[in-house]
Amino acid sequence: MIKSAILGSAQTRQRLRFVAQCAAATVVLAVLTCYGFVSQSNLLTIALLYLLVVVATASLFGFKQATYTSIVAVLLLDYYFEPPLFSFAVESPSMFVALVTFELTALVIGRLQGREMRVAREAASQREGMEQLYELSRSSLLLDLRQPPGPQLAVLIHRIFALRAVALFDTNLGRQDRMGDWNTDEENLAKDCFLRDDSHDDSSTQTWQRVLRAGPGPVGALVLRGKLSPLVVDALASLAAIAIDRYQWFEKEERAETAKKSEQLRGAVMDALAHEFKTPLTAVQTASSGLLELGGLTEPQCNLVTLIDGEAVRLNKLCTRLLKAAKLEAQQVGLDTAEVNVLELVSAVLAGHSAEPERNKVEVAVEDPSLTVRADRGLLEMILTQYIDNAKKYSTAGTPIEVAARASHSEVLISVHNFGPTIRIEDRDRIFERFYRSPVLKDSVPGTGIGLSVVRKAAEAHRGHVWVISDDQSGTTFSLSLPMDARRTL
């Protein structure tokens, strides 16, 4: 209904404009006719004057108006200047040919002049459109990327192109911004265009709909109402899509920078605390060990002192990991590389763990007992210790834990496998981030989220990689790959 009303209004205005233009040409012909009749001008003179009016009408208004003017001019020539006067009869065949020739000449000249003027108007319109696009491109570079781009773009497009209405939908923010005169049932026009994923033009109402695309998919939609060429509309849509895409990338960079600063602050605080905790923890551990050595304690007292000693040792190891992680992130750890026998390393790590045969049996599968890797033994031992600690914490009671190692081309692959809760796909990379713990397991198993982040940093220091594979049938496997000559490149 709205479209029909707009279309009817546009057609009415067009008809009124046509009538007014034809009336103006008729008035000019009437004035020339009066002048020629009063001054008794000859047929040739008045015909040339009429021809000038036809050419002027074609230049100013168009071919249809010029055609109407030429017909009126021929009728006036025949009625007022060709004997018998005041009659449309043509007695002389030569005069009939002359009138027909005049009409054809007027039509051809009007047609050529109208085409020339149309081309000139199109060129001027395109030049104006390019200037407007250039202004929009410059203005879009000055957008405040900390504010939503939709309102800013809508204002710019509406002002620069002098449009009746502008609507822009941003799918990232889920918002639609409008400028100009829109009807109440058109408030979601841009959003509907995006949902249909269909660009559409309606030249009768001068409404242009474009889906905005940047990169792999659409980022929004733009609807314009006003006098524009399709080429300008396409270029305008591309500029709007680029502006929205710039905002999205800026937003991602801002979030990443904020997260980075937050992580740096949190890491700095934890590192400072680790330094501060080291001295009192050492004193607590020394005192508890001394009490155990002195003896003379009752059984409850001995149990309490043993508990204090064990927890002090655990906290001391945690502080050591925090400090090691800080040095690895700052690239302050110099690798003390040497040839490390993998089987001997695995045996040494297992010997340092408390035996829990009733819970999990640890199986070792090293293909070649002489397998070696050039690495920092301390960091490699820390990686393996963390993997085994995790396997013991998260494995199901009574299921085996397998530590395996083998050579693969120029790499050494070390893995620790256990059966227990499955690690979600979205968590398999994030669990190697500092302080991150899976929301599914963080409340059921104690931990800090530090160990695996240190593992990743230590592996990267050796130019190695860490990853995890987990499913219900096969269990969970944490893996480490190291080049056989793992010298760090600084």
Are residues 464 and 414 in contact, defined by beta-carbon separation less than 8 angstroms?
A: no
Using the predicted structure, report yes or no on whether residue 416 has a pLDDT greater than 90. yes
Burial of 4 (0-12, 13-18, 19+ CB in 10 A): exposed
Taking residues 340-352, report their average pLDDT: 87
| CATH class belonging to 337-483 | alpha beta
Using the predicted structure, report yes or no on whether residue 1 has a pLDDT greater than 50. no
Q: Which of 332, 423, 428, 328 is nearest to 382 (CA)?
A: 328
Taking residues 141-166, report their average pLDDT: 86
Q: Which of 49, 53, 24 is nearest to 37 (CA)?
A: 49
Q: What is the pLDDT, as a whole number, of residue 487? A: 43
Residue with the larger pLDDT of the pair 295 and 386? 386
pLDDT, tens digit (0-9, with 9 covering 90-100), for 215-251: 777 888 999 998 888 888 888 888 888 888 888 888 8
pLDDT, tens digit (0-9, with 9 covering 90-100), for 418-427: 998 888 888 8
- The DSSP bridge partners found for residue 417 are 402, 477
- Where residue 89 falls (left for φ over 0; alpha for ψ -120 to 50; beta otherwise) is beta
CB atoms under 10 Å from CB of 125, counted, come to 14
Q: Which amino acid is at 365?
A: A
- Domain spans in the chain, listed from the N-terminal domain onward: 2-131, 132-254, 261-329, 337-483
Q: Which amino acid is at 300?
A: P
Q: Which of 417, 390, 387, 419 is nearest to 402 (CA)?
A: 417
- Starting at the edge strand found earlier in the chain, the sheet holding 401-408 runs 362-366, 401-408, 411-418, 475-483, 465-471
Taking residues 86-99, report their average pLDDT: 68
Q: What is the pLDDT, as a whole number, of residue 269? A: 55
Burial of 237 (0-12, 13-18, 19+ CB in 10 A): buried
Taking residues 449-464, report their average pLDDT: 82
Q: What's the CA dihedral at 372, 378, 381, 383 to 10 degrees?
A: -110
Using the predicted structure, report yes or no on whether residue 72 has a pLDDT greater than 50. yes
Give the separation between CA 150 and CA 25, rounded to whole angstroms: 48
Give the separation between CA 288 and CA 292, rounded to whole angstroms: 6
Give the separation between CA 278 and CA 294, rounded to whole angstroms: 24
Mean of the per-residue pLDDT values of the chain: 79
Q: What is the pLDDT, as a whole number, of residue 351? A: 82
**From residue 5, how far is each of 153, 321, 411 by CA, in Å?**
29, 75, 75
Using the predicted structure, report yes or no on whether residue 417 has a pLDDT greater than 90. yes
Q: What is the pLDDT, as a whole number, of residue 104? A: 76
Using the predicted structure, report yes or no on whether residue 356 has a pLDDT greater than 90. no
Q: What is the pLDDT, as a whole number, of residue 393? A: 84
Per-residue confidence at 403, pLDDT binned at 50, 70, 90? very high
Using the predicted structure, report yes or no on whether residue 488 has a pLDDT greater than 50. no
Using the predicted structure, report yes or no on whether residue 193 has a pLDDT greater than 60. yes
| CATH class belonging to 132-254 | alpha beta
Q: What is the pLDDT, as a whole number, of residue 2? A: 46
pLDDT, tens digit (0-9, with 9 covering 90-100), for 73-82: 778 877 777 7
DSSP string, 98-114: HHHHHHHHHHHHHHHHH
Give the separation between CA 189 and CA 229, rounded to whole angstroms: 20
Residue with the larger pLDDT of the pair 118 and 432? 432
Q: What is the pLDDT, as a whole number, of residue 402? A: 92
Taking residues 401-413, report their average pLDDT: 88
pLDDT, tens digit (0-9, with 9 covering 90-100), for 26-47: 888 888 888 887 887 777 788 7
pLDDT, tens digit (0-9, with 9 covering 90-100), for 325-336: 655 554 555 677
Q: What is the pLDDT, as a whole number, of residue 334? A: 60
Q: What is the pLDDT, as a whole number, of residue 3? A: 47
pLDDT, tens digit (0-9, with 9 covering 90-100), for 271-293: 555 555 666 777 777 777 777 77
Give the separation between CA 63 and CA 215, rounded to whole angstroms: 46
Determine the Cα angle at 147 with ends 146 and 151, to 5°.
155
pLDDT, tens digit (0-9, with 9 covering 90-100), for 254-271: 777 776 666 565 555 555
Q: Which of 374, 463, 468 is nearest to 421 (CA)?
A: 468
- The DSSP bridge partners found for residue 209 are 200, 223
Handedness of CA 339, 345, 346, 349 (dihedral sign): negative
Using the predicted structure, report yes or no on whether residue 389 has a pLDDT greater than 60. yes
Using the predicted structure, report yes or no on whether residue 388 has a pLDDT greater than 80. yes
Q: Which amino acid is at 49?
A: L
Phi, psi of 276 (to 5 degrees): -70, -30
Taking residues 111-125, report their average pLDDT: 71
Least confident of 129-138, 339-348, 363-372: 129-138
Q: What is the pLDDT, as a whole number, of residue 467? A: 92
High-pLDDT (> 90) share of the chain, %? 6
Taking residues 92-115, report their average pLDDT: 70
